[in-house]
Amino acid sequence: MAFGLSVLLFVLALFAIVMIHEGGHYLGARLYNFRILEYFIGFGPRLWSFRRGEIEYGVKAIPAGGYVKIAGMNPFENDVPEGDEHRAYGAKPVWQRVIVILAGPFSHFLVAWLIFAAVFMFASNWNIPGVVAVTPQLAGVTSPAAQAGLQSGDVIVQIGDLTQPTRDEIGTYQAAHVGQPITYVVDRGGQAVTLTMTPIQTKDNGVRVGIELSGVKEKPLVAFAHAGGQVWDTTVQAVGGLARVFGPQGVRDLVTSMFSNAPRSPDGPVSLVGASAAAGHAGSQGAWAYFFSLFATVVLFIGLVNLIPLPPLDGGHVAIALLEKVRGHRIDMKKVVPVSAVVLLILGFFSISAIILDIFHPLPGT
């Protein structure tokens, strides 16, 4: 698939995830009889809408996500219909409010789990890479893989000093040893075979030995179990990434990258522009396992950001609801607005900075 079409598919899929997120809030609110006023795709001027029962559904002009409007959530609007005061957001028990709010970000974990499971079942588990094809020629000469006698179906179990390497680890290790002989141990029909290959750099600055990696497809139960583990591992890595990005060192690295010629930190933030570019490259090369795993990772990351316990994020609404439970009385949401504004400014700074860097100083592979 062409690069542009791959990027478009990635962006449309992210837009669908936003609506699934809002759908989580919607289903939770319907379950506990909250008064839902609107469920819209997009923001800004209303383009088209219809009413079914007491809820207005529709599309707005700016395709930047969507929202579910629950009566009583906006402190600056008196939007609770007469007679529905008991169904307003603030009138509901704290535990119901928490469930409704968490249903949005938790939908990200469910979607990511399903995507990872599908990758393991149909596209293959990239954590168990195997050789599906050996490229005979690279840069006009016999490829290192062909010279070494690598065969289709071989499974790489060791590269250098790395045992059971993942696809990414294989690529990283090869890139770090261009022009240097590397020992590979492969599983060939149950027998361990040792080969030596020397990665070469191609004209497009790629590093290759002449192999195309796929993976081992898994049975459904195994795939779903592995997908759960993958969601956990990705979540742990993403939490660590958030801590680094928003920590003192992360802020310094971001500012340095923005206002100097210093190399960009690979641990810094990557915007949706960078992620979309990486997805475009993957799709254009037919690397669909990587395409969908990248998409699942972005989905998880967005869900985690929404769980940060600061308003106006979903985690902030949960924190406020729990604080109200502890204190025994409602919090004036108008007083929370300045905090929300500061949080949005900080997130906006990081987002815009990452977009600028991804456009003018992209990381390799994005």
Each of the 366 residues of the chain gets a pLDDT tens digit; together they read 578 888 888 888 988 999 999 999 999 999 999 999 999 998 899 999 999 999 999 999 988 788 999 999 988 889 999 999 999 999 999 999 999 999 999 999 999 999 999 988 886 555 556 665 677 766 667 788 888 888 877 888 888 988 888 777 888 888 888 889 999 998 888 889 999 988 887 665 566 777 777 666 778 998 899 899 999 999 999 999 899 888 998 888 888 888 888 778 777 788 988 899 888 877 776 777 778 888 999 999 999 999 999 999 999 999 999 999 999 888 888 889 999 999 999 999 999 999 998 888 887 656
DSSP result, 6-62: HHHHHHHHHHHHHHHHHHHHHHHHHHTT--EEEEEEEEEEEEEEEEETTEEEEEEEE
Identity (one letter) of the amino acid at 232? Answer: W
CATH class assigned to 128-216: mainly beta
Domain extent listing, the chain: 93-124+218-366, 128-216
Active site residues: 22
User: Is residue 80 exposed (0-12), middle (13-18) or buried (19+ Cβ within 10 Å)?
Assistant: buried
Put simply, whether the predicted model's pTM sits higher than 0.85 gets the answer no
Identity (one letter) of the amino acid at 125? Answer: N
